[in-house]
Amino acid sequence: MIDIKLIRENRELVKDNIKKKFQDEKLPLVDEVYDLDIKYRECKTKADDLRNKKNILSDSIGELMRNKKEEEANKVKKEVSEIVKQIPELEKEELELEAKIKKIMLTIPNIIDDSVPIGKDDAENVEIEKFGIPQKPNFEIPYHADIIEALNGLDKEAAGRTTGEGFYFLKGDVARLHSALLAYARDFMINKGFNYTIPPFMIRENVVNGVMSFKEMEEMMYKIEGEDLYLIGTSEHAMMGSFINQILKEEDLPLTLTAYSPCFRKEGGAHGLEERGLYRVHQFEKQEMVVLCKMEEGMDWYNKMWSYTVEFFRSLDIPVRTLECCSGDLADLKVKSCDIESWSPRQQKYFEVGSCSILGDAQTRRLQVRYKSKEGTKYPCSLNNTVVASPRGLIALIENNYQEDGSILIPKVLQPYMGGLTKLEKIKKEK
């Protein structure tokens, strides 16, 4: 959520930003909230003046009574009584206007960074840099679900019986490899100095509204029926929510956190679910980074964070590239974002395995997370980034380490988490 002062002082900048995000239907909202803000401030000023006048007149009554000016005191009492009648109506109007303004402000997108490329959707995202040499094997790499099934590591049919489409059972050494990947990601970030946390996997609606836009919430979040609770779509939601209405200490910044959680997403819309595979599913697990820092340090942390994910995947010898998200592909709260994509030897192209975002004070303003500085109370900058999300990370790992005989080589960094195993062998089916 942007600062209302920006609309008061520079409406054209806010409108231009909306145009850059190709959300022209929101342009009238800027003038609407501007007019509502004028009414709100007029109403608040009038109410404050009346409250102040009431206090002054009330104080004068005692003085008049002590000086035996009873008739004059009664006149003042009558005037105070009239003021008292007016204040509740003004306070009611003030609250109504404040609620209308907040509702609109929550839908106006954050101001994007000047470096963000302008484009309508993800088709216009811009490649930044490639890391590692993509493999072009001289043998066919099967579909990832077929590879995992040949290792006796996947059962979507059983998940269909227990839960439904979009869920899965991982089994045996494949399940172990999945857990090893996440455990390594945890230790990788701890070694970077991040504080490891396991958050609650459900959050209240006021936290949801604080960390994401209404559109994102509708497309992603699962609501718990009869409860003021939602299943988290990423640990960032709970991690940011933990600071709601808190005033942090300046000396504690930056807060660098890494969190593990399962993630639950509807995965509605055009992409849909993958019927056979594990690329787009309702449930997955993730190691996440969350940083709260001073605003002036935000871009430095942004560049550090995405570079950590690149370093993580390269330590697994997986080629990756970074992709700058264009203006139309940025969620409303984001200032700037980049995707980290892994090379797929099977498809001979890259696919998304993570995303790094800087949000300025959009989340902290919504959640009322602040810190005290010498210049006064400020909102910190928030950032988030995927270390690894699996099964997508597992798919990248399996494809890039697939051998012609159907086995999977285990990268050295993961071998300690696999009890020393160096390879997953294809399971021979009994005749």
Closest C-alpha among 196, 212, 392, 187 to residue 284: 392
Dihedral pair phi/psi, residue 332, rounded to 5°: -60, -30
Asked if 356 contacts 309 with a C-beta cutoff of 8 angstroms, the reply is yes
Q: Is 271 in the same domain as 161?
A: yes
Q: Is 40 in the same domain as 129?
A: no
Q: Is 200 in the same domain as 310?
A: yes
Q: Is 55 in the same domain as 197?
A: no
In a domain, 405, yes or no: yes
DSSP per position, 337-377: EEEEEEEETTTTEEEEEEEEEE-TTHHHHHHT-EEEETTEE
Q: Which residues of the chain have pLDDT under 50?
A: 269-270, 431
**Tokens describing residue 419:** 């009890």
Neighbours of 81 (CB within 10 A): 10
| pLDDT value of residue 225 | 94
Q: Is 97 in the same domain as 138?
A: no
Please report, for residues 41, 44, 78, 206, 212, the alpha-carbon distance to residue 98 in angstroms, rounded to integers and kept in the order given.
Answer: 10, 10, 31, 17, 20
Q: Domain total for the chain?
A: 2
Task: Bin 420: left if φ > 0, else alpha if -120 < ψ < 50, else beta.
Answer: left
| pLDDT value of residue 267 | 77
Asked if 419 contacts 410 with a C-beta cutoff of 8 angstroms, the reply is no
| pLDDT value of residue 272 | 54
| pLDDT value of residue 98 | 94
| pLDDT value of residue 430 | 53
- Measured CA to CA, the distance from residue 25 to residue 23 in angstroms comes to 5
Domain residues for 256? 122-424
- Measured CA to CA, the distance from residue 110 to residue 19 in angstroms comes to 12
CA atoms within 13 A on the CB side of 194: 28
Asked if 230 contacts 203 with a C-beta cutoff of 8 angstroms, the reply is yes
**Residue 121 carries which side chain, given as an amino acid letter?**
D
| pLDDT value of residue 72 | 77
- Measured CA to CA, the distance from residue 400 to residue 37 in angstroms comes to 56
Q: Is 63 in the same domain as 15?
A: yes
Last residue of a domain, one of 46, 79, 105: 105
**Residue 91 carries which side chain, given as an amino acid letter?**
E
**Tokens describing residue 245:** 């209405």
| pLDDT value of residue 53 | 83
- Measured CA to CA, the distance from residue 321 to residue 127 in angstroms comes to 7
Asked if 363 contacts 209 with a C-beta cutoff of 8 angstroms, the reply is no
Q: Is 241 in the same domain as 139?
A: yes
In a domain, 111, yes or no: no
pTM listed for this prediction: 0.90
| pLDDT value of residue 121 | 95
Last residue of a domain, one of 105, 140, 163: 105
The CATH code of the domain that includes 388 is: 3.30.930.10
Q: Is 68 in the same domain as 101?
A: yes
Last residue of a domain, one of 105, 136, 151: 105
- Measured CA to CA, the distance from residue 220 to residue 134 in angstroms comes to 32
DSSP state of 68: T
| pLDDT value of residue 428 | 67
Burial 389-425 (b: 16+ CB within 10 A, else e): bbbbbbbbbbbbbbeeebbbebbebbeebbeebeebe
